Structure 1
Amino acid sequence: MTDTADSPYRVLPGPLHAVLLAGAVPLFLGGLLSDIAYFKTYLIQWSNFASWLIAGGMLFCGLALLFALVNLIRSSQKSGRPVVYLLLLLVTWGLGLVNSFEHAKDAWAVMPSGLILSVIVTLLSCVSAWTGLTNLRSGGAR
């Protein structure tokens, strides 16, 4: 019989949480690559692609943030890696929101701040995914 009264932090994310977390990375990366293409070619459609990809990344990141918050609330471990993971997701989502607002501007006004924000948000999403997915020990080990 196992004691479930003191449930540890769920170290291994559930399948949906992992998909949402890992799915944000290519969407933000696609937004960055679209921004780079827009910076090089001046074709406005690349800016539109970046806006939509960033919006998709925001959706995935926001849902992963919700899962991380629920996991943290349900766990007994309220410090350390789970909190860092939650804060990384929160900062990624917050800067992604600022990036979305930046991409809502008209044409060339997106540059260079949109490109810089896309680089930062992409790097943060990679670090968040790495932090959330690398601690794959389950059970009592922390």
Structure 2
Amino acid sequence: MARSIGQRSRGRLAIGGHPIYSTLLPIPILCFIGALVTDIVYTRSPEMMWLDFSSWLLFAGLIGGGIAGAILIIELVRSGRARSGALSIHFVLLLSAWIVEVLNSFIHARDGWTAVVPTGMTLSIVAVVLSLLAGWFWQSANNGDRR
């Protein structure tokens, strides 16, 4: 059953009735996907610009993910839902993706081809899979779908 617009879960941080975490969650997911795409393009092109784009997207995703993660921790502590199955899985997956991308940022700090192939590309793929799964479990937790 859908919640009415005025009804919000206890403990959720919101601005104007809009949950902050749900608004910020797509930022790291999209930035990590974008970094993977620019890594793929870089492997097919000699342009260093694509490596720079990957680094910038990783940075933006890490900042957005860090802010979103901090807000999620506050929400979980305030609401007492920290032990919920789907929420716990979501948090672990998102944290894992963030840690993988921190490592990936260090790999991308290298110069040229070795910054992407093969380690950077592998870490990007792992982080994208983890972040997409985290988004999936976030939807499951919010819709009450515990499959």
Contact 1:47 1:103 in 2 (8 A): yes
Asked if 1:43 is matched to 2:47, the reply is yes
Distance (Å, rounded) in 1 between the aligned partners of 2:123 and 2:10: 36
SS, match of residue 82 in structure 2 = coil
User: What stretches of structure 2 of length at least 5 have no aligned partner?
Assistant: 1-8, 13-17
The answer for the alignment partner of 2:111 in structure 1 is 106
The answer for the alignment partner of 1:116 in structure 2 is 122
TM-score, normalised with respect to structure 2: 0.79
TM superposition shift of 1:117: 0.7
User: What stretches of structure 1 of length at least 5 have no aligned partner?
Assistant: 1-6
- Count of residue correspondences: 131
Contact 2:90 2:133 in 1 (8 A): no
Which of these residues, 119, 132, 137, is aligned with residue 138 of structure 2? 132
TM-score, normalised with respect to structure 1: 0.81
Amino acid at match of 1:63: I
**After superposition, what is the alpha-carbon deviation per residue over 1:18-54, rounded to whole angstroms, capped at 9, x for unaligned?**
1210122221111101000111112111101000011
Identity among equivalent pairs (%): 32
RMSD: 2.3
The answer for the alignment partner of 1:66 in structure 2 is 70
Which structure is richer in relative contact order (CA contacts within 8 A, separation 6 or more)? 1
**After superposition, what is the alpha-carbon deviation per residue over 1:65-120, rounded to whole angstroms, capped at 9, x for unaligned?**
11221122113333222222211111111011001111001111211111111111
Asked if 1:95 is matched to 2:100, the reply is yes
